[in-house]
């Protein structure tokens, strides 16, 4: 049992390495894209839809709803990024039911790559929503003294994301292997099922945390716009309404 899939090298040319992690990632990507393409090439907008379309619609609608609830914003811009995070991790972990398959998330490199993507996505969405100045001013609040702490917070939470996912997936796989050695029958199967559940939970947690980080960066601008939108309404509706708003 290898500790890291990265060291399972299949092909090497100078610094370019094709290892198991990348290979399995491609496999997952191929399956996802192929499956999506097969389903979405014949979409129905009527009342009758195919079961696969129904499944994908449930998935997409569920993700949109989750993003909307967590971020309190329109899920449209976030969906491709966060949705892909969830679908990729979830599907990677789900495929562990296949023998001989190792999830790419079993490699710290993969989880680190995903975490770095989140790290980059936070300023990306923040700047897209608030502009460069608006986003950067966020680091200087409430005083300039807080700047190092903000930066530290960004880095540590990225590291935490990567390690949390990797740790959970790896522990599950290791636990399965160890239990297989200790209690050969039945019990590892239950643990495997538990592991599937944990894999899905981890995918959910990763996606939710990414949403929270990105949404909090994009929030300030949204709040300002919300305030602007509500001011005339308050003037029209009197003081009672504003009290309600501050409560909520």
> Min. distance of Cβ 71 from other proteins in angstroms?
16
> Min. distance of Cβ 85 from other proteins in angstroms?
8
3-class SS at 17? strand
Of 78, 31, 47, give the one whose Cα is nearest residue 39.
31
Per CB under 8 A, does 103 bind other proteins?
no
Per CB under 8 A, does 200 bind other proteins?
no
User: Residue count at the site for other proteins (CB under 8 A)?
Assistant: 46
Task: Name the token pair of 235.
Answer: 């003037």
> Min. distance of Cβ 158 from other proteins in angstroms?
12
Residues 242 and 248: their CA atoms lie apart, in Å, by 10
Per CB under 8 A, does 51 bind other proteins?
no
> Min. distance of Cβ 143 from other proteins in angstroms?
34
Quick one: which segment of 60-68, 139-147, 171-179, 200-208 binds other proteins (CB under 8 A)?
60-68
Residues 248 and 69: their CA atoms lie apart, in Å, by 15
Question: Given the complex with other proteins, which of 42 and 229 has the nearer CB atom?
Answer: 42
Question: Given the complex with other proteins, which of 75 and 126 has the nearer CB atom?
Answer: 75
Count other Cβ atoms within 10 Å, centred on residue 202: 22
Residues 25 and 92: their CA atoms lie apart, in Å, by 8
* Phi, then psi, of 9 in degrees rounded to 5: -90, 130
Question: Given the complex with other proteins, which of 117 and 136 has the nearer CB atom?
Answer: 117
Among 10, 11, 50, 61, binds other proteins (CB under 8 A): 61
Give, as ranges, the residues between 25 and 44 that touch other proteins (CB under 8 A). Answer: 25-26, 29, 32-33, 36-37, 40, 43-44
Quick one: which segment of 21-29, 148-156, 206-214, 218-226 binds other proteins (CB under 8 A)?
21-29
Per CB under 8 A, does 23 bind other proteins?
no
CA distances from 203 to 12, 156, 246 (A): 31, 19, 35
Among 113, 123, 134, 176, binds other proteins (CB under 8 A): 113
Residues 192 and 196: their CA atoms lie apart, in Å, by 6
Check if the beta carbon of residue 149 is closer than 8 Å to that of residue 139: no
Residues 138 and 219: their CA atoms lie apart, in Å, by 11
> Min. distance of Cβ 117 from other proteins in angstroms?
6
Check if the beta carbon of residue 161 is closer than 8 Å to that of residue 210: yes
Count other Cβ atoms within 10 Å, centred on residue 60: 14
Q: Name the residues that contact other proteins, by CB under 8 A.
A: 3-4, 6-7, 15-17, 19, 21-22, 25-26, 29, 32-33, 36-37, 40, 43-46, 53, 56-57, 60-61, 64, 76, 79-81, 83-84, 87-88, 104, 107-110, 112-114, 116-117
């Amino acid at each position: 049992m290898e500790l890291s899939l990265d060291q399972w090298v299949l092909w090497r040319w100078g610094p370019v390495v094709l290892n198991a992690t990348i290979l399995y990632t491609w496999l997952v990507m191929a399956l996802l894209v192929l499956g999506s393409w097969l389903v979405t090439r014949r979409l129905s907008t009527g009342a009758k839809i195919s079961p696969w379309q129904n499944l994908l619609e449930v998935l997409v609608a569920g993700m949109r709803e989750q993003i909307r609830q967590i971020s309190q914003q329109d899920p449209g811009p976030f969906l491709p990024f966060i949705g892909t995070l969830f679908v990729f991790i979830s599907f990677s972990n789900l495929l562990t039911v296949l023998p001989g398959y190792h999830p790419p998330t079993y490699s710290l490199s993969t989880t680190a790559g995903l975490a770095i993507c989140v790290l980059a996505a936070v300023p990306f969405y923040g700047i897209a929503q608030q502009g460069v100045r608006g986003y950067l001013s966020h680091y200087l609040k409430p005083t300039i003294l807080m700047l190092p702490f903000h930066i530290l917070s960004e880095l540590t939470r990225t590291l935490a994301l990567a390690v949390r996912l990797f740790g959970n997936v790896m522990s599950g796989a290791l636990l399965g292997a160890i239990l297989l050695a200790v209690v050969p029958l039945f019990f590892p199967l239950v643990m495997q099922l538990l592991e599937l559940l944990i894999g899905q939970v981890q995918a959910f947690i990763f996606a939710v945390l990414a949403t929270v980080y990105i949404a909090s960066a994009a929030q300030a601008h949204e709040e300002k716009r919300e305030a602007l939108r509500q001011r005339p309404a308050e003037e029209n509706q009197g003081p009672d309404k504003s009290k309600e708003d501050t409560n909520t």
